[in-house]
Amino acid sequence: MVMQRYQLMADFVASDVAHWYDKATDGDTAVIARAVPPAVWLFHLPHAQVYWWTEGAKGLTVSLDDARQRLTMVQEQEPVS
């Protein structure tokens, strides 16, 4: 099991979730830090699905495409520096 850490918009954008998924194996984790907490945790699951979790919230299993769309929405909410 591998854990990788990313910064949303610095070295990881929403479309990169598919690249991470393709290189990861079941159980691998991506922790995506945001300018405004909480961080997003993605756990690699089989069949193009990930477990999406943020601290203090209930996690859920979503498709890879849904995870990308969710990250796009989160990315759009990030403050512009």
| pLDDT score at 59 | 96
Local confidence band at 20 (pLDDT 50, 70, 90 cut-offs): very high
What's the mean pLDDT in 53-63? 94
Per the prediction, the chain carries an average pLDDT of 89
Domain range enclosing 18: 3-77
Strand (E) positions, 1-81? Answer: 3-7, 29-33, 40-45, 49-54, 60-63
Number of domains in the chain: 1
| Strands 49-54 and 60-63, bridge-based pairing | antiparallel
pLDDT exceeds 90 at position 43: yes
Partners of 42 in beta bridges:
30, 52
Predicted model pTM: 0.84
Chain-centre distance for alpha carbon 42: 5
Chain-centre distance for alpha carbon 30: 6
SS3 53: strand
Percent of the chain with pLDDT over 70: 95
